[in-house]
Amino acid sequence: MKKFNLLAYCMISIACMNNFYAKAEQNTTSKKSLLSYLYTKLIPQTSMDLPLACDAHKKAIIVDLNGVLCTTNKLRAAQIIGLDVISAYIFRHIKLPNSTDLLKALDQVPALCQSDAYSQGTILPQIMIDWKTGLQDFRDIQDQIIAHITASNMTTAEKNLYIQTALMMTTPAKFIQTKQVILEGLQLVRQLKKLGYKIYILSNWDPSSFPLFVKNFPDFFTYEGKDLFDGIMISGQQHVVKPEAQIYLDCLSKFNISASQAIFIDDTQENIQAAQKLEIASILCINKNIAQVKKQLIELLTVA
């Protein structure tokens, strides 16, 4: 009975936390909107705006997806994983699930890939790079993950959590259900398009779920009845991931972009550094701060 009560308490706590953070984010957004309004209306503005493409020193904007134009709805992800699974993990280990433990659990799963890719400065397990590059079918990847975790000495709660999380991430329909658009990022891209810039996507994204992303988010890919993006390249099509130099070179070549005319926007430092080595001007998007990205864009587009 005590275990049941504690489990129920954990589940209620998760629901309350999600509700609290959603309301807190909503309140923060409202406060930011009010402050922004007061700042722009009551204080004289001296900052510059984005120039027309014909007046800018660079004409092509290459943008990452995750962390810049879209993100993960964590509450939806938790629902797909299972609140009972998450609660059992919290009850057993007295801590919240975290991505570091998940990546560690997947680190030794057999894989084909030999390249490195990163998430917030952390090297991804090779099996996840197999998924992002399409080197293995997602069903084979799932089988290997399940077999590896099942045979490990992890607790039952850990096994259930990591398996369900991996299935959520690698099952196309489930993965796309967790995606949501970063409206500020999308608005910035639309503004750039309206000003005459060429806009391209360069993203580490698996080949199986991407068609579903395009299908489920039609307004994301179109603007005023036309294609928003002039070209799209994902790692799942090229079988290579950022920060490998080859995928940047492939992007420049396929879309006939000059490195000197391009600006690359990404949320991962290692990917930014790789682009800079190829002499592509780059902007690191930190914590989905699109306002800061726009500020740096203006600087790069208006300075010779």
| 63 and 79 both lie in a single domain | no
CA–CA separation, 62 and 79 (whole Å): 33
Residue 304 is predicted with a pLDDT of 60
| 171 and 193 both lie in a single domain | no
Which of 161, 177, 193 terminates a domain? The answer is: 177
- Cβ atoms 241, 125 nearer than 8 A: no
Phi, psi of 223 (to 5 degrees): -150, 120
| 204 and 280 both lie in a single domain | yes
Residue 57 is predicted with a pLDDT of 87
| 113 and 172 both lie in a single domain | yes
Q: Which of 113-117, 128-132, 285-289 has the lowest mean pLDDT?
A: 113-117
CA–CA separation, 194 and 69 (whole Å): 17
- Cβ atoms 264, 249 nearer than 8 A: no
> What proportion of the chain, given as a percentage, has pLDDT over 70?
84
Residue 270 has pLDDT above 60, yes or no: yes
- For the segment 35-50, the average pLDDT, to the nearest whole number, is 50
Which of 177, 201, 233 terminates a domain? The answer is: 177
CA–CA separation, 126 and 117 (whole Å): 8
Q: Which of 22-31, 75-84, 226-235 has the lowest mean pLDDT?
A: 22-31
- Cβ atoms 282, 299 nearer than 8 A: no
The secondary element (H helix, E strand) that includes residue 213 is: helix 210-216
- Cβ atoms 85, 290 nearer than 8 A: no
120 — pLDDT class (breaks 50, 70, 90):
confident
26 C-beta neighbours (distance < 10 Å), count: 10
| 81 and 66 both lie in a single domain | no
Indicate the burial class of 293 (C-beta count within 10 angstroms; 0-12, 13-18, 19 or more): buried
10 — pLDDT class (breaks 50, 70, 90):
low
Phi, psi of 264 (to 5 degrees): -110, 130
CATH number of the structural domain spanning residue 248: 3.40.50.1000
| 234 and 294 both lie in a single domain | yes
4 — pLDDT class (breaks 50, 70, 90):
very low
Domain count for the chain: 3
Q: Which domain holds residue 144?
A: 74-177
**Strand ranges (DSSP E) for the chain?**
60-63, 70-72, 118-119, 122-123, 179-181, 198-203, 222-223, 226-227, 231-234, 262-266, 281-284
- pLDDT higher for 72 or 48? 72
| 64 and 194 both lie in a single domain | yes
User: pLDDT by residue (tens digit) across 169-190?
Assistant: 999 999 999 999 999 999 999 9
Which of 158, 177, 196 terminates a domain? The answer is: 177
| 6 and 39 both lie in a single domain | yes
Residue 186 is predicted with a pLDDT of 98
Residue 114 is predicted with a pLDDT of 87
| 143 and 171 both lie in a single domain | yes
What is the DSSP secondary structure assignment for residue 66, as one 8-state letter? B
CA–CA separation, 108 and 147 (whole Å): 12
| 68 and 115 both lie in a single domain | no
Indicate the burial class of 169 (C-beta count within 10 angstroms; 0-12, 13-18, 19 or more): buried
| 141 and 203 both lie in a single domain | no
Would you state the torsion angle of the CA atoms of residues 225, 200, 239, 130, taken in this order, to the nearest 10 degrees? -80
- Cβ atoms 175, 35 nearer than 8 A: no
- For the segment 37-47, the average pLDDT, to the nearest whole number, is 42
The backbone region for 57, taken as left when phi is positive above 0, alpha when psi lies in -120 to 50, beta otherwise, is: alpha
| 190 and 57 both lie in a single domain | yes
